[in-house]
Amino acid sequence: MTAQPSSDQHVRTPSARSLRGLDALNFFLADVRDGLGPYLAIYLIAVRGPDQGWNEATTGLIMTIAGIAGLIAQTPAGALIDRSSHKRAIVIAGALAVTASCLTLPFVSNFYVVAATQSVAGIAGAVFPPALAAITLGVVGPKMFAKRIGRNEGFNHAGNAVSAAIAGSTAYFFGPIVVFWLMAVLAVLSVGAMLMVPADAIDDDLARGLDEKAGQSDEQASGIGALLQNRYLMLFAVLAAIFHLSNAAMLTSVGQLLTKLAGKESATSLISVCIVAAQFVMVPVAVFVGAKADAIGRKPIFLVAFGVLALRGALYTVSDNPYYLVGVQLLDGVGAGIYGALFPIVVADLTRGTGRFNVSQGAVATTQGLGASFSATLAGLIIVSAGYSTAFLVLAGIAAAGFVLYLVAMPETYGYAPPTSSGTKDGGRRPVATPAE
């Protein structure tokens, strides 16, 4: 039995099979969607090494090239998801492309070929965030979207934690090559999970943010120009960049500090603990956010994310004890858990009825990526010139500025009515049920 709309077009009753498929998809795709991630540097430096021309500089350049390719692909990927009625096929093709690009790595050593394969992985990986959000919205509808996104994020973080734990424990016995085996297995399982969601369970109009109840149709969908007139969507893009400008460099800076304090071997183990533990913290946080985002509102919860991020940066300066630093890093599970769950919900709020939900996700993700890209450079320059404590305080100050900007300028988006081609003005409010209803 596939999902059928009720008399209220906003309310859908997805089948148990579709919901289980979404759970499994988010769990198994968690590791595939980011490609080799940090394992790329480990493999190129530890396995290939200077004898084959690989060092920190060449590896960093590969990761930068792949990151830029993925960043450029964000908005086009969202536009593709908006237009396509074959979202399942896009997810499957993306998973296979990322996996194939990474599985070729043990067989190639030329810099340009490696750069090309990882760029393909970065471009293919850009389809996953908008595709997963779109499929979810198309399956459950806007009324249940917030709760379901929180569950998605919970399974995503659990998948990341489990795969990192498996990779870390098995690599001790089999070496870095185990990461490639794990990715191949997860790719196959993610394809199977995607096929668990029937094609006719996905409402393509709802998936792109069209509002059937409001009388929107495909012909009425707003263009990109209308979205650029939505000042709150543009403001949210700035806030996303600020969040990642503050957040992205914190873990890498802590890793560098731990290496200095505890040595290379201990630092690697401690960072692994940081990553796995933070992912497990993100699971209940994401589920809570999805369950309570309608009742509490988006704005108060997002303010908590900025506040926790600022607190985390400040706490890093209190002590140089490695175990203390690892403990503070667990706060990343709170801030990142909230951000990951609320990001698609707020974008959906700000684009409902426009038919441009997914391209808007891509555009905001692009600004987010720019913030993350500048974060490491900013932190590195400050560390070299003024030390780690100053760098952490600057990152904390950026998060605090984001908190103030969100508090003062950003409205509560639950029930927000974005501008559409039919003439709705930016900043309007649509009738919505209260949490009690």
Cβ(186)–Cβ(28) below 8 Å: yes
CA 69 to chain centre: 16
Q: Are residues 150 and 281 in the same domain?
A: no
Q: Are residues 188 and 319 in the same domain?
A: no
- 263 band by pLDDT with thresholds 50, 70 and 90: low
- Tell me the mean pLDDT in the region 330-345: 91
CA geometry: angle 38, 307, 344, nearest 5 deg: 60
* DSSP code string of 53-93: T--HHHHHHHHHHHHHHHHHHHHHHHHHHHH-S-HHHHHHH
| pLDDT recorded at residue 8 | 44
| pLDDT recorded at residue 5 | 41
Q: Are residues 124 and 254 in the same domain?
A: no
Q: Are residues 192 and 253 in the same domain?
A: no
Domain assignment present for residue 343? The answer is yes
Give the whole-angstrom CA distance, residue 225 versus residue 230: 9
Pick from 209-218, 299-308, 344-353 the range whose average pLDDT is largest.
299-308
Q: Are residues 194 and 293 in the same domain?
A: no
The tally of domains found in the chain comes to: 2
Of 171, 200, 229, the residue at which a domain comes to its end is 200
Which of 106-110, 126-130, 240-244, 399-403 shows the lowest per-residue confidence on average (mean pLDDT)? 106-110
Domain assignment present for residue 5? The answer is no
Domain assignment present for residue 334? The answer is yes
Give the whole-angstrom CA distance, residue 44 versus residue 118: 12
Q: Are residues 267 and 403 in the same domain?
A: yes
Query: Does the pLDDT at position 163 exceed 90?
Result: no
3-state secondary structure of 12: strand
Domain assignment present for residue 209? The answer is no
Neighbours of 59 (CB within 10 A): 18
Give the residue with greater pLDDT, 291 vs 42: 291
Q: Are residues 239 and 379 in the same domain?
A: yes
Q: Are residues 64 and 187 in the same domain?
A: yes
Helix or strand run (H / E) with residue 184: helix 178-195
Domain assignment present for residue 437? The answer is no
Q: Are residues 181 and 262 in the same domain?
A: no
- Tell me the mean pLDDT in the region 428-433: 45
Of 152, 169, 200, the residue at which a domain comes to its end is 200
Q: How much is the mean pLDDT over the chain?
A: 81
Of 200, 230, 252, the residue at which a domain comes to its end is 200
Locate the DSSP E strands across 334-378.
none
Strand pairing partners for 429?
Answer: 416
- Tell me the mean pLDDT in the region 211-232: 56
Q: Are residues 61 and 159 in the same domain?
A: yes
Domain assignment present for residue 177? The answer is yes
- Model pTM greater than 0.85? no
Give the whole-angstrom CA distance, residue 10 versus residue 65: 42
* DSSP code string of 370-428: HHHHHHHHHHHHHHHHH-HHHHHHHHHHHHHHHHHHHHHHPPP-TTEE---TT-PPTTE
Domain assignment present for residue 285? The answer is yes
Give the whole-angstrom CA distance, residue 119 versus residue 333: 28
Over residues 93-120, the pLDDT tens digits come to 999 998 888 888 888 878 899 889 889 9
Q: Are residues 232 and 126 in the same domain?
A: no
Report residue 173 as tokens: 């016995």
Domain assignment present for residue 29? The answer is yes
| pLDDT recorded at residue 342 | 93
Q: Are residues 223 and 353 in the same domain?
A: yes
CATH number at residue 93: 1.20.1250.20
> How, if at all, do strands 12-13 and 428-429 pair?
unpaired
Over residues 352-383, the pLDDT tens digits come to 877 788 888 888 888 888 888 788 778 888 88
Domain that holds residue 338: 219-418
Which of 107-111, 155-159, 258-262, 356-360 shows the lowest per-residue confidence on average (mean pLDDT)? 258-262
